[in-house]
Structure 1
Amino acid sequence: MQLHQYTDARALNTDFAAKLVNLLQEAIATRGQAYLVVSGGRTPTALFNALSAADLPWQHVTILLADERFVPVDAPDSNERLVKANLLTAKAAKAEFISLYAPAASAEEAIADVLPRINALPVFDAVILGMGEDGHTASLFPCSAELNAGLAPDAPAVLAVNPTTAPHQRISLSLPRLLNTRQLFIHLVGQSKLEVLTKAQAGADVTSMPIRAVLQQPDVDVAVMYAAN
């Protein structure tokens, strides 16, 4: 793991967007298509805005989420809604988006529609993860009964998750699917997030802090992009 610290979030987002553009350009040059996995929430919004203005052949870029709340795509809490409003706009409006949502009675029932979409994808070029104060990442929550299934080496690409400490059912990419990428980033803003990261690095129990499963794996380059404010 490499920790990249920036003076503020603006400097972080400028450099981060440039790194992502380079990765996507390399992928397009190599295989004609690039695959980017992003996370929702407030932290990446400014990064999305910066990235959406980048000069790229966006029609050759496929974007999807690391996880999604099981709510309609036009709901206020929808990560898809946030991504479409802040990333799939301006020059990036030409990018393809793959949804983790499907109308169904439950997240578990939606998996039948969502799983084939993700199974069809090759190795990702970049995955951007966040991290909660409890050490969760994507929707791999320490409080959920589905955690071990999501961390397992033979986990399916996506799974339904029922967190007890956060609202809404979730659909999340599993750990092995998230790690099937050329580069993995953890995007953190705020001193409290650095303290959580330090705590995660000091222990080994992945069930109490699932982000440890990302930090401890040996096969994928992990870069932590951090600014205090």
Structure 2
Amino acid sequence: MKHEFLTHSSRDEAADFAARMAVGVLSAAIEESGKACFMVSGGSTPAPVLDRLAHTDMAWSRVTVGLVDERWVSSDHPGSNERLVRSHLLTGKAGAAGFVPMKTAAQTAVAAVADRNLAYGPHSDPIDLILLGMGSDGHTASWFPKAGGLTGAMHAKNGEIVAAIDATGCPVAGDLTERLTLTGPAIIDSDAAILLIFGDEKREVLNASLKSEPDDRPIRFAVDGLGPRLTIIWAP
């Protein structure tokens, strides 16, 4: 079965819908099991959704928030996804949620993999909701085309939740090339996922990606694997 594709007339409308959907999915998970896990992406696109969720009434104390991926920088660095989540989501009412960082005191991302697998494992069996983004090269998470570690990350063994990525030479990654990311199994086994994209260019990238090989446009790996558990939300 195929994913759902929803078009909205404005980005505000799309963010409103994504926030309402997130609350519905997380609340249902809490109702069923007493807790929920929410993995979020960085970047400017999800920020409006996180802002809305931050002030939404929900049983946030029963929610654990984690990251889809992270750059190997300190949590106060402008490129830190942890910084974005703390400043946009973990404020107001959502400040009661728990948070599991990806960046640790380890010297390298590779050195932190085993520890972060232990930290993320209990919250990924499966993930209740994951908020994904997509880059102009067709990447999602830190699955950059041609990146070092890409194949191992996307095709990780069961139980491998987090993997290291070396995005050296990947233009969209910029200068911050050392990353940790959720693996293919962690993402595609999620109970529900939202892919939020804005603009005609991103829609064209998505359409091209769905006709490409997953190694060339890794977003396809996530879209195909999630199937009907994925809702794509787009606005001009």
Q: Which residue among 140, 148, 169 is the counterpart of 1:145?
A: 148
CA distance in 2, matches of 1:9, 1:32: 32
**Does the C-alpha gap of structure 1 residues 111 and 14 become closer, same or farther in structure 2, counting only changes over 3 Å?**
same
> Match for residue 100 of structure 2?
98
Offset at residue 20 of structure 1 (A): 0.8
Mapped partners of 2:165, 2:228: distance in 1: 25
Corresponding position of 1:28: 30
Q: For residues 66 and 123 of structure 1, what CA distance do their matches in structure 2 show?
A: 14
The offset of 1:200, in angstroms, is 1.1
Q: Distance in 2 between matches of 1:45 and 1:157?
A: 24
**1:182-201 matches, cutoff 5 A:** 182-201=191-210
User: 1:106 offset after TM fit, Å?
Assistant: 1.0
Tell me the alpha carbon deviations over residues 190-211 of structure 1, each in whole angstroms, 9 at most, x when there is no partner: 11100001101223x1110001
Structure 2 unaligned segments of length 5 or more: list them. none
When the two chains are superposed, the root-mean-square deviation of aligned CA atoms in Å is: 1.3
Segments of structure 1 that go 5 or more residues without pairing to the other structure are: none
1:139 and 1:30 map into 2 onto residues whose CA distance is 31
Task: Give, in angstroms, the shift of residue 219 of structure 1.
Answer: 5.6
Deviations 1:117-171 (A, max 9, x none): 0122231111111011111100011121211101115162111101022222000
Measure the CA separation in 2 of the matches of 1:20 and 1:112: 29
Measure, in 1, the Cα distance between the counterparts of 2:166 and 2:13: 36
Specify the SS of the correspondent of 1:124.
coil
Residue type of the partner of 2:164?
A
Distance 1:199 1:219, change over 3 A: closer
Structure 1 pair 150/49, CA: closer, same or farther in 2 (3 Å)? same
Aligned identity (percent) is 32
Matches within 5 A, 1:2-13: 2-13=4-15
Q: Which residue of 1 aligns with 2:179?
A: 170
